[in-house]
Amino acid sequence: LARALVRTALADIEAPSADSETAELLTAELVANAVEHTAAGAPIELVVELLASGCQVEVHDGDPRSPGDLAARADDVHPDPWQEHGRGLLLIRTLSSACGHRRTEHGKAVWFTLAARPAPV
């Protein structure tokens, strides 16, 4: 559902927008993390902001704990192939223009931005 919402938001604008497939992938990662780390039945909110320079996506959840390290790390180049978790934040760090998190009144918001694609010539 989150992927479809992002796809629709990016398709509804006429100006060059961020890459929809990348936005969908990163949104799915953020939503999956929120679902995994938030109490069952707790609300999760998706906010898509269309910017002149691209888009910003935020996922709000009720867990105030930090989502992990969203800063680039030295081990990003060669992740452990046997590790079952941890690739979502790697994707977000690698594919987004910027990313981060902030505390909110009811938990936290984790976000990423994507730059606009160049206009076709």
- Please provide the size of the chain in residues: 121
Whether the full predicted model's pTM is greater than 0.75, yes or no, is: yes
Expressed as residue numbers, the domain containing 22 is 2-115
Q: Reply yes or no on whether the pLDDT at 68 is more than 90.
A: no
- Please tell me the predicted confidence (pLDDT) of residue 116: 81
Per-residue HEC secondary structure of 59-94 comes to EEECCCCCCCCCCCCHHHCCCCCCCCCCHHHHHHHH
- Please tell me the predicted confidence (pLDDT) of residue 105: 93
Give the amino acid at 73.
R
In a domain, 54, yes or no: yes
Torsional class of 97: left (φ above 0), alpha (ψ -120 to 50), beta (otherwise): alpha
In a domain, 120, yes or no: no
In a domain, 121, yes or no: no
Local structure of 63: helix, strand or coil: coil
Structural domains of the chain, count: 1
- Please tell me the predicted confidence (pLDDT) of residue 80: 63
pLDDT level of residue 65 (50, 70, 90 thresholds): confident
Q: Reply yes or no on whether the pLDDT at 90 is more than 60.
A: yes
